[in-house]
């Protein structure tokens, strides 16, 4: 018997590859993705759980101002920050989520606390914040989430009624040495979204899903489409009911169903034997993975030869 297989896949959002992207910025994104992979892999390498690994990787990205989750979240139509996050354990189908939260430093940690310390799956708004504070999850002043870059993106669109998909939502999926799968997604949502709008990232089955029998999935993109298609669960169901591989199921969900409905976005996934997928129908999806050998791979561009590297 060889060493038990592990795999960790992360994303840092899907969307338009901005012309304003500079080589320095690209390097910063690669470095941040790489750091999240190393932190999550460290958990898996030491025999830790997939759940711990995805939480650790997502925490790392939430703390980085480059991403639209935690620290670098986008602004709502009325100039506030409202975040959603969800986590799921494939071993027992336990799940936790928080949505419409404004002061929780790491929403994914609060989502996990909901899963482990309440009889509920989802808490929103002030109730979620009060619970998180009581559970010892770090609370910060909303000014912590302010970044110049997101403020500027909002200035360009704030007088319009529509939302904009900004690259930067984060997610992670993992397979641990014990054969357990887990998934986590965290976001500030869509730029200029309406006050009180909740997206797919906080919705189990849309933005996140994990089942040891099939796969673990984290979504990113135009959330309303992922909610209407129940995309994360759909990929698992396509594997379970139609016997598709992870790759085939992801193709069907993103490149056919999502495409036909006019939605944009991507998913990352890992199956129970450690196959991974990173599929998107946008210009790009920031992404990366690391398997048992510990060799990390990160990508910010749209194909394998362009703007990607292994370390």
Cβ 254 to ligand ASP, closest distance in Å?
13
Question: 8 φ, ψ to 5°?
Answer: -135, 130
Q: Does 212 bind ligand ASP (CB under 6 A)?
A: no
H helix intervals, the chain: 23-45, 50-62, 107-117, 125-134, 148-155, 223-229, 231-242, 246-250, 259-261
Q: How many chain residues bind ligand ASP (CB under 6 A)?
A: 12
The yes or no reply on residue 107 touching ligand ASP (CB under 6 A) is no
In the shown chain, the binding pattern of residues 18 to 47 toward ligand ASP, with x for contact by CB under 6 A and - for none, equals ------------------------------
User: Nearer Cβ to ligand ASP, position 18 or 242?
Assistant: 18
Active site residue 169: yes
Which one of 93-101, 109-117, 216-224, 268-276 is the stretch in contact with ligand ASP (CB under 6 A)? 216-224
What is the 3-state secondary structure of 27-38?
HHHHHHHHHHHH
205 is an interface residue for ligand ASP by CB under 6 A = no
Determine if 190 is a binding residue for ligand ASP (CB under 6 A): yes
The nearer residue to ligand ASP, 244 or 285, going by C-beta atoms, is 285
Three-class DSSP labels, 168-211: CCEEEEEECCCCCEEEEEEECCCECCCCCCCCHHHCECCCEEEC
CA atoms within 13 A on the CB side of 204: 21
Rounded to 10 degrees, the C-alpha dihedral 98/99/102/103 comes to: 0
Select 211 or 231, whichever has its Cβ closest to ligand ASP: 231
239 with 143: CB under 8 angstroms?
A: no
Q: Report in angstroms how near the CB of residue 126 gets to ligand ASP at its nearest.
A: 20
Residue 36 contacts by C-beta under 8 Å, 6 or more apart in sequence? Answer: 10, 57, 58, 60, 61, 170, 172, 288
Contact flag: residue 221 with ligand ASP (CB under 6 A): yes
* The only residue of 103, 186, 187, 212 in contact with ligand ASP, by rule CB under 6 A: 187
What distance in Å separates the CA atoms of residue 220 and residue 170, rounded to the nearest whole number? 8
- How many angstroms separate the CA atoms of 214 and 47, rounded? 21
Count of C-beta atoms within a 10 Å radius of residue 242? 10
Closest distance to ligand ASP from the beta carbon of 56 (Å) = 20
Least distance to ligand ASP from the beta carbon of 176, Å? 25
**What is the rounded distance in angstroms from the CA atom of residue 236 to the CA atom of residue 217?**
8
The CB-nearest residue to ligand ASP is: 223
Cα 293 from Cα 42, distance rounded (Å):
11
What is the nearest approach in angstroms of ligand ASP to the Cβ of residue 202?
8
- Our CB check for ligand ASP shows the closer of 36 and 43 to be 36
Closest CB to ligand ASP among 38 and 206?
206
From the list 60, 97, 214, 220, which residue makes contact with ligand ASP (rule: CB under 6 A)? 220
Among candidate residues 109, 163, 169, 185, the one labeled active-site is 169
Q: Of 39-98, which residues contact ligand ASP (CB under 6 A)?
A: none
Shortest Å, Cβ 117 to ligand ASP: 25
Residues 150-169 that bind ligand ASP (CB under 6 A): 165, 169
Which residue shows structure tokens 């101002």?
A: 65
* Catalytic (active-site) positions: 169
Q: Give the interface with ligand ASP as residue ranges (CB under 6 A).
A: 13, 165, 169, 187, 189-190, 199-201, 220-221, 223
């Amino acid at each position: 018997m060889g060493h038990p297989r592990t795999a960790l896949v992360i994303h840092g959002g899907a969307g338009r590859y901005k012309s304003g992207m500079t080589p320095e910025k690209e390097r910063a994104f690669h470095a941040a993705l790489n750091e999240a992979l190393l932190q999550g892999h460290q958990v898996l390498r030491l025999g830790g759980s997939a759940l711990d690994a995805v939480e650790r990787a997502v925490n790392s990205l939430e703390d980085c101002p480059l991403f639209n989750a935690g620290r670098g979240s986008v602004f709502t139509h009325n100039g506030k920050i409202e975040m959603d996050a969800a986590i799921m354990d494939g071993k027992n189908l336990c799940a936790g989520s928080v949505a419409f939260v404004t002061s929780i430093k790491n929403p994914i940690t609060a989502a996990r606390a909901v899963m482990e310390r309440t009889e509920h799956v989802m808490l929103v708004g002030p109730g979620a914040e009060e619970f998180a504070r009581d559970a010892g999850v770090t609370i910060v002043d909303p000014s912590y989430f302010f970044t110049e870059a997101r403020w500027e993106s909002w200035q360009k669109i704030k007088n319009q009624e529509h939302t904009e998909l900004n690259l930067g939502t984060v997610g992670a999926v993992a397979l641990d040495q014990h054969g357990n799968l887990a998934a986590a997604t965290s976001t500030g949502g869509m730029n200029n979204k309406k006050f009180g709008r909740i997206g797919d990232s906080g919705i189990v089955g849309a933005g996140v899903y994990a089942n040891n029998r099939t796969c673990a999935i984290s979504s990113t993109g135009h959330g309303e489409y992922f909610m209407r298609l129940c995309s994360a669960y759909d990929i698992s169901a396509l594997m379970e009911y139609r016997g598709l591989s992870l790759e085939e199921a992801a193709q069907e969900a993103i490149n056919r169903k999502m495409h036909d409905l006019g939605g944009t976005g991507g998913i990352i996934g890992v199956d129970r034997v450690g196959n991974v997928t990173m599929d998107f129908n946008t210009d790009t999806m920031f992404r990366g993975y690391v398997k048992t050998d510990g060799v990390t791979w990160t990508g910010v561009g749209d194909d394998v030869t362009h703007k990607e590297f292994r370390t």
